[in-house]
Amino acid sequence: MDTSESDRPGSSAGTFEEVVLPHLDAAYRLARWLTGRSHEAEDLVQEASLRAFRYLHTFTGGNARAWFLKIVRNTCYQWRGRAAAAVTDVFDERLHSAIQPTGDPEALFARAEGTALIERALNELPLRFRELLVLRELEGLSYRELADVSGIPVGTVMSRLSRARQALHQALTALGEKGGATSKCA
């Protein structure tokens, strides 16, 4: 007798292909920002995917993206605990970006400088701030989704996100004063 996936416990909330696979790109981006390393991010997303597959029966429906990103986040934090002595590499645009710019060279240069400045500023932030900013601003998670992924109350998400934005602004200002920003042409 052939047993289909719909006969498995918990599969009424969706299959692995429906619940996890659509969110692999977001999972990778989160893991890369939390680890600072693309190879570790790939490995951690694979490990998180295996965990999600193993525990798919615990997914009772609702926001699959938040459920899977929480698994990715927890996997990354466990990795950080194991690699606590290792220092996170600084994000290097040439190594980590698969996007090849096209178009107006001057505009592309200005955009690349701005992107690099933001990345340097983000990397200077404490991990708890960086995580919230990446999930909110780059992945577009709602406050409720951020609370679910982070395991903290919505009110704490809101206040921590506010402090994270202030810290990012301060880091950008400091980097700009050090000469990280482009000078204006007259």
Among 46-50, 162-166, 173-177, the minimum mean pLDDT is found in 173-177
CA 99 to chain centre: 18
Sign of CA dihedral 73, 75, 78, 83: negative
For domain 103-177, the question of CATH label 3.10.20.600 is answered with no
Instruction: Assign 67 a pLDDT band (cuts: 50, 70, 90).
Output: very high
Average pLDDT of the chain to the nearest whole number: 78
CB of 168 closer than 8 Å to CB of 114: no
With a pLDDT cut of 70, the percent of the chain lying above it is 72
CATH topology for 12-82? Rna Polymerase Sigma Factor; Chain: A (1.10.1740)
Instruction: Assign 183 a pLDDT band (cuts: 50, 70, 90).
Output: very low
For the chain, which residues make up each domain, given as ranges?
Answer: 12-82, 103-177
Compute the average pLDDT of residues 130-136.
90
89-99 pLDDT tens trace: 454 545 444 44
Instruction: Assign 106 a pLDDT band (cuts: 50, 70, 90).
Output: low
